[in-house]
Amino acid sequence: MPSAIDTERIWKRNARRTAWAANCFWWLQRFLPFFLGLNLASAVAVIYARQQEWPQDRIVAIYAAVLVVLALIALGLAWRRFLSQRDGMLRLEQHLGLKSALSAASEGAIAWPPLPEQLSVPYQFRWGNITTPIAVSATLLLIGCLIPVETVRADVVIDNPKQPMAWEELEAWVEELTEDEVVEETALKELEKKLDELRQQPTETWFTQSSLEAGDSLRDQTQQDLQKLAQDMMKTSALLDAMRQAGDEPFSQEAMALEGALQKALEGMQLGTTPLSSEMMEQLKKMGNSQSCQNIDLSKYKLVKGTLDENAQKLCKLAKLNPDALEDMILMACQMPGNGGIDRGPGAAPLTASPFESRVTPASVEGVSNEDMRNAALGQTLAIQDRAPDENEAGEAFIIKTSQGSDSLGQGGDVVWKNQLSPEERKLLENYFQ
Amino acid sequence: MIEPTTLTEQSAAEAAQALKGLSAAVNEVLFGQETLIETVILALLSGGHLLLEGLPGLGKTELVRTFSRTLDLDTKRVQFTPDLLPGDITGNPMLQEKDGQRTFVFQEGPVFTNLMLADEINRASPKTQSALLEAMQERRVTVMGITHDLPYPFFVFATQNPIELEGTYPLPEAQLDRFLFKLTVLSATRETLEKIISARILGQEPVVRKSMTGEQLLRISQMTSKVYLPDVVKSYIARLVHGTYPNPDTAAKVIKFGASPRAAIGLASAARARALLEGRVHASVDDVRAAAPYVLGHRIIVNYQDRMEGVTPESFVAKLLTEINPEEAELPKTLAAAKIQ
């Protein structure tokens, strides 16, 4: 038999336990809706996090923090309804049918009643109200964790994300050009910088229309520049050959023309957006005139020329330059006059009169020119004349007869040069020379 | 005057035993009225007055007479009629000549007794009914400026017939409030009737066994006032009485006037008496719940509209007892409420 003190202690302990159990369930009742909502949101968040490949420990930490906050909020809401020890004692005595004996005993009115054989918490737990939200929450979380999800960005993609084709080509060009040292280093860095600017965009926007267009534009522009450089290099190579073969007449018109063309080509290679490497440019500049070209050591000339050709070939291959166009380029460089075109430049027509002796060989092409038109025959100058179109006669002058005989109007504002005379001009000139 | 008696668990058990004897003695005469008899005993222990309502012939008068005889108390019966005057109850000063001098001598009325049976009290005029007010509340009467104390103990057991309402005067609220209990005497069951037929012969008074003296009843009654009322019980009584006040949000929305503080005092006394009847030295909320319908029922007035819809004071009190629990703090829905035995 427990003593009176023990009996009191046991009764009070059970009263506290009764109140504590009720308070726990109060808290649970407040917390479970939050818990259910949290897990519903967490399931969605877990799916999203798995798609984004977020670190799991961070997700768990955020979940735990939110859980603690919600638990505290639920505690605050349930606090006002918490049962005191006195309430617990009242519940206990009602449950045991003690007819307020515990309340009277706690107030010192009577002795504590004897303890029953079995003391149980006076509640019937409604487990369904508790387990259902927990089970639903667990199911939601499991669904969030186990449902198959396609990751948006894999680890490999994060380290080296797949990039548009144009960028890859540009990257390959930069790498190869840097290795070959064909193009000036600063130009390559500038190109890399532009490429990096494109890469700094959010990964999601890499394949948008605007990004792809920007990449393609940069690639096309670079390709054109490289093609131009390759053309200039091939032209330079051809001009060097021509100058080497021009002989000992550095001041001949042909040599002068070749030299001018070479200077122009060198200038083009130097001023482009992808200029030739400064080292190569220095070597080429040393051979930039006929005299120096003739005087340079053959082995050194061959070395420079070989390097230039080799680099030009590489560049042509890199820039996807058409080989046919390359041959035409070489031919055009060697046969400067008579090729037509607005950029053919000055040069002697083949077999024209010249104050200097020419070395006409079967293998060479001689340009003949006569710039003094004062003594030229009428038919020599009458056939070719450049002039700006007269605006007054634009309506008729721009009517071009096509081979099919149909008329086509010129485009307004286009400035064209016509290589034929109008009937009025021709009549005027004939009258003048008569 | 009887000396106050200290209350111990032993004395409470002895009192409970004696009260059981009283109950048994009355039950030997009145069959099938155990609850009614127990409630009457509670009224006697509490020192309260009793209003018995029921059809004629159900044993109301017999109940009072049986108690008076078994307790060996002085009993007087007054049949209330419309022409009954207050003096007929309280007593009248009579002019007497003695030694050649004429003086008024107060002639005590039937109220000067221990147990007064006011039969069909609602048939007397309000003036006569009011004559009982002072007697019931202060246990004394004042005639011609002279106050006369009533004998101790003094109980009024009144009866009224609920069906013959023609020519009756319903008791005013002030007088109703002075009755501790209002009890409804129900018709006997078939088994009870068989017992009555077997035991009783028309015209013969039943033999009533004396089980307790008036002095013993007084001693036990004094013990009642010493029964401990725990705080939770006090709180419950207060909440119950407060719950009868008109409130649109609770069961009391049907109430026009609620119970008075006198009802709270009466309910506490009844709870104490019931605890002693069960041999306990402390009252419980169960005692309050058991006594509440008899204490509160006649003290509240239901709205006319709700009364027409069938709401009675008794049904309201039953609803009140389900609405207001002894445990003030409610339980969460995740728990079933503690089982009340």
Give the CATH number for residue B305: 1.10.8.80
Query: In terms of pLDDT, which residue wins out, A94 or A68?
Result: A68
Taking CA atoms, A43 is separated from A37, A52, A114, B60, B113, in Å, by 10, 14, 53, 74, 84
CB pairs under 8 A between A and B: 98
Q: Which of A191-195, A309-313, A354-358 has the highest mean pLDDT?
A: A191-195
Scanning every residue of chain A, which has its alpha carbon at the shortest distance from the alpha carbon of B283? Answer: A100
Residue B218 has pLDDT above 70, yes or no: yes
Distance from CA of A154 to the nearest CA of B (A): 46
What's the domain count of chain B?
Answer: 2
pLDDT at B194: 87
Q: Give A333's pLDDT tier (boundaries 50, 70, 90).
A: low
B230, B332, B341: residue with CB nearest A26: B332
Give contacts of B278 with chain A, Cβ < 8 Å.
99
Q: What is the percentage of chain A residues whose pLDDT exceeds 70?
A: 70
pLDDT (mean) for A381-390 = 50
Cβ distance B282 to A130 less than 8 Å, yes or no, reads no
B280, B330, B336: residue with CB nearest A123: B336
Structure tokens at B46: 């509490």
Q: Which of A359-368, B211-220, B317-326 has the highest mean pLDDT?
A: B317-326
Distance CA B82, CA B107 (A): 22
Q: Same domain, yes or no, for B167 and B40?
A: yes
Q: Give A291's pLDDT tier (boundaries 50, 70, 90).
A: low
Query: In terms of pLDDT, which residue wins out, A150 or B4?
Result: A150
A83, A100, A101: residue with CB nearest B329: A83
B278, B286, B339: residue with CB nearest A122: B339
> What is the residue-averaged pLDDT of chain B?
87
pLDDT at A202: 83
State which of B181, B198, B225 marks the end of a domain: B225
pLDDT at A174: 84
ipTM > 0.90 (yes/no): no
Scanning every residue of chain A, which has its alpha carbon at the shortest distance from the alpha carbon of B279? Answer: A99
Distance from CA of A99 to the nearest CA of B (A): 5
B278, B282, B327: residue with CB nearest A104: B282
Torsion over CA: A52, A58, A59, A65 (sign): negative
Q: Same domain, yes or no, for B51 and B117?
A: yes
> What is the residue-averaged pLDDT of chain A?
76
B230, B286, B334: residue with CB nearest A104: B230
pLDDT at B266: 94
State which of B196, B225, B254 marks the end of a domain: B225
Beta bridge partners of B51: B158, B182
- Those residues whose C-beta lies under 8 Å from the C-beta of residue A171, and which sit 6 or more positions away, are A195
Q: Same domain, yes or no, for B51 and B199?
A: yes
pLDDT at A264: 79
Q: Which of A235-249, A312-326, A418-432, B88-102 has the highest mean pLDDT?
A: B88-102
Distance CA B109, CA B114 (A): 12
A86, A95, A99: residue with CB nearest B286: A99
Pick from A49, A67, A69, A68: nearest CA to A57? A49
Q: Give A152's pLDDT tier (boundaries 50, 70, 90).
A: low
Q: Same domain, yes or no, for B138 and B152?
A: yes
Cβ distance B332 to A29 less than 8 Å, yes or no, reads yes
pLDDT (mean) for A22-32 = 89
Pick from B70, B154, B62: nearest CA to B108? B154
Give contacts of B291 with chain A, Cβ < 8 Å.
none
Interface test with A, best of B6, B327, B334, B341 (most A CBs within 10 A): B334
Distance from CA of A39 to the nearest CA of B (A): 20
Distance CA B231, CA B284 (A): 10
Distance from CA of A13 to the nearest CA of B (A): 18
A22, A95, A110: residue with CB nearest B339: A95
Give contacts of A130 with chain B, Cβ < 8 Å.
334
Scanning every residue of chain A, which has its alpha carbon at the shortest distance from the alpha carbon of B233? Answer: A100
Distance from CA of A21 to the nearest CA of B (A): 9
Establish if B85 belongs to a structural domain: yes
Q: Same domain, yes or no, for B128 and B39?
A: yes
Are A39 and A137 contacting, i.e. CB atoms less than 8 angstroms apart?
A: yes
pLDDT (mean) for A316-333 = 67
pLDDT at B3: 44
Distance CA A20, CA A189 (A): 73
pLDDT (mean) for B316-328 = 89
Query: In terms of pLDDT, which residue wins out, A319 or B247?
Result: B247
Q: Same domain, yes or no, for B33 and B115?
A: yes
Interface test with B, best of A99, A102, A112, A125 (most B CBs within 10 A): A99
- Those residues whose C-beta lies under 8 Å from the C-beta of residue B232, and which sit 6 or more positions away, are A86, A90, A100, A103, B285, B326
Pick from A367, A361, A422, A356: nearest CA to A392? A422
Give contacts of B231 with chain A, Cβ < 8 Å.
103, 107
Establish if B62 belongs to a structural domain: yes
Exposed e or buried b per residue across A137-153, where buried means at least 16 C-beta atoms within 10 angstroms of its C-beta:
beebbeebeeeebeeee
Interface test with B, best of A84, A96, A100, A131 (most B CBs within 10 A): A100
Q: Same domain, yes or no, for B221 and B232?
A: no
Give contacts of B341 with chain A, Cβ < 8 Å.
94-97
Distance CA B175, CA B331 (A): 41
Give the range of the structural domain holding residue B248, as residue numbers without chain letter. 227-327
Distance from CA of B41 to the nearest CA of A (A): 20
CATH of the domain at B91: 3.40.50.300
Q: Same domain, yes or no, for B194 and B241?
A: no
N-term to C-term CA, chain A = 156
Give contacts of A86 with chain B, Cβ < 8 Å.
232
Q: Same domain, yes or no, for B109 and B190?
A: yes
Are A80 and B332 contacting, i.e. CB atoms less than 8 angstroms apart?
A: no
**E strands within chain B?**
49-53, 75-79, 91-98, 101-108, 115-119, 140-143, 146-149, 155-160, 179-184, 255-257, 301-302, 335-336
Distance CA B114, CA A346 (A): 154
Q: Give A324's pLDDT tier (boundaries 50, 70, 90).
A: low
Structure tokens at A60: 């768990």
Give contacts of B8 with chain A, Cβ < 8 Å.
none
Q: Give A187's pLDDT tier (boundaries 50, 70, 90).
A: confident
Distance CA A350, CA B3 (A): 160
Cβ distance A94 to B326 less than 8 Å, yes or no, reads yes
Interface test with A, best of B288, B335, B340, B341 (most A CBs within 10 A): B335
Residue B10 has pLDDT above 80, yes or no: yes
Q: Same domain, yes or no, for B312 and B204?
A: no
- Those residues whose C-beta lies under 8 Å from the C-beta of residue A35, and which sit 6 or more positions away, are A67, A70, A133, A134, A137
pLDDT (mean) for A378-390 = 52
Give contacts of A104 with chain B, Cβ < 8 Å.
228, 230, 281-282
Residue B290 has pLDDT above 90, yes or no: yes
Residue A410 has pLDDT above 60, yes or no: no
pLDDT at A251: 62
Q: Give A384's pLDDT tier (boundaries 50, 70, 90).
A: very low
Residue B29 has pLDDT above 70, yes or no: yes
Q: What is the percentage of chain B residues whose pLDDT exceeds 90?
A: 36
Taking CA atoms, A19 is separated from A11, A16, B341, in Å, by 12, 5, 19
Q: Give B216's pLDDT tier (boundaries 50, 70, 90).
A: confident
Give contacts of B16 with chain A, Cβ < 8 Å.
none
pLDDT at A342: 59
Scanning every residue of chain B, which has its alpha carbon at the shortest distance from the alpha carbon of A26? Answer: B332
Q: Give B263's pLDDT tier (boundaries 50, 70, 90).
A: very high
Residue with tokens 């509670």: B42
Distance from CA of A143 to the nearest CA of B (A): 27
Question: Where does residue A234 rank: exposed (0-12), middle (13-18), buried (19+ CB within 10 A)?
Answer: buried
Cβ distance B282 to A109 less than 8 Å, yes or no, reads yes
Residue A330 has pLDDT above 80, yes or no: no
Pick from A109, A98, A113: nearest CA to B284? A98
Give contacts of A125 with chain B, Cβ < 8 Å.
334-336
Distance from CA of A120 to the nearest CA of B (A): 11
Q: Same domain, yes or no, for B182 and B299?
A: no
Are A294 and A248 contacting, i.e. CB atoms less than 8 angstroms apart?
A: yes
Cβ distance A95 to B341 less than 8 Å, yes or no, reads yes
Question: Where does residue B52 rank: exposed (0-12), middle (13-18), buried (19+ CB within 10 A)?
Answer: buried
Residue A387 has pLDDT above 60, yes or no: no
Cβ distance B282 to A122 less than 8 Å, yes or no, reads no
Taking CA atoms, A236 is separated from A242, A269, A333, B18, in Å, by 10, 9, 8, 140
pLDDT in tens, A175-184: 888 888 888 8
Distance from CA of A150 to the nearest CA of B (A): 41
pLDDT at B143: 86
Residues B55, B60, B63, CA angle at the centre, nearest 5°? 155
Give the 3-state secondary structure of residue B232.
Answer: helix
Residue B181 has pLDDT above 90, yes or no: yes
State which of B225, B260, B287 marks the end of a domain: B225
Segment among A283-297, A347-361, B47-61 with least mean pLDDT: A347-361
Are B212 and B70 contacting, i.e. CB atoms less than 8 angstroms apart?
A: yes
Q: Residue B337: CA atoms inside 13 Å, Cβ hemisphere, count?
A: 12
pLDDT at A225: 85
Distance from CA of A205 to the nearest CA of B (A): 52
Cβ distance B334 to A28 less than 8 Å, yes or no, reads yes
Q: Give A406's pLDDT tier (boundaries 50, 70, 90).
A: very low
Spell out which chain A residues touch chain B, with contact meaning CB-CB distance below 8 angstroms. 21-22, 25-26, 28-29, 81, 83-84, 86-87, 90-92, 94-97, 99-101, 103-104, 107, 109-110, 122-126, 129-130
Interface test with B, best of A36, A75, A84, A90 (most B CBs within 10 A): A90
Cβ distance B333 to A83 less than 8 Å, yes or no, reads no
Q: Same domain, yes or no, for B207 and B61?
A: yes
Distance from CA of B282 to the nearest CA of A (A): 7
Distance CA B85, CA B78 (A): 11
